[in-house]
């Protein structure tokens, strides 16, 4: 038997050189599972709740449509994921530059 005490599994410990946090986009940009794949909710919920939920989904869909219309959805997602992972815009300069270039290339520059 070894003299070391049994240590709990620390596979998610940041001391592990192979450990990295799971990238998570900001909640505002995360896609919610479609209603068909989510567990069914009880019929006892208030009717207003379902309407609010549908309105939220419509708003998210509108956001996604607007991003798609810019022609830079891929670059936008890469930038959001970079920020979600690193929590520092300065660490995402490459992704930000790629998004900025795409934005200009697709004529999305606003004039004042």
Domain limits for position 80: 45-105
pTM here is 0.47
> pLDDT by residue (tens digit) across 27-48?
455 555 555 444 444 455 556 6
Within 13 Å and on the Cβ side, how many CA atoms surround 107?
1
Give the tens place of pLDDT for each residue, 63-98: 888 889 999 999 999 999 999 999 999 999 999 999
C-alpha distances in Å from residue 39, one per residue of 18, 31, 84:
35, 16, 27
Number of domains in the chain: 1
Q: Is residue 18 part of a domain?
A: no
In a domain, 40, yes or no: no
């Amino acid at each position: 038997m070894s003299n070391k005490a049994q240590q709990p599994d620390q596979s998610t410990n940041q001391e592990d050189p192979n450990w990295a946090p799971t990238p998570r986009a900001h909640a505002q940009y995360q896609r919610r599972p479609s209603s068909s794949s989510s567990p069914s909710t009880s019929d006892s919920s208030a009717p207003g709740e379902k309407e609010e939920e549908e309105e939220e989904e419509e708003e998210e869909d509108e956001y996604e449509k607007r991003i798609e219309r810019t022609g830079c959805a891929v670059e936008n997602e890469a930038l959001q994921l970079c920020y979600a992972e690193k929590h520092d815009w300065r660490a995402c300069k490459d992704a930000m530059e790629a998004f900025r270039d795409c934005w200009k290339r697709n004529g999305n520059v606003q004039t004042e």
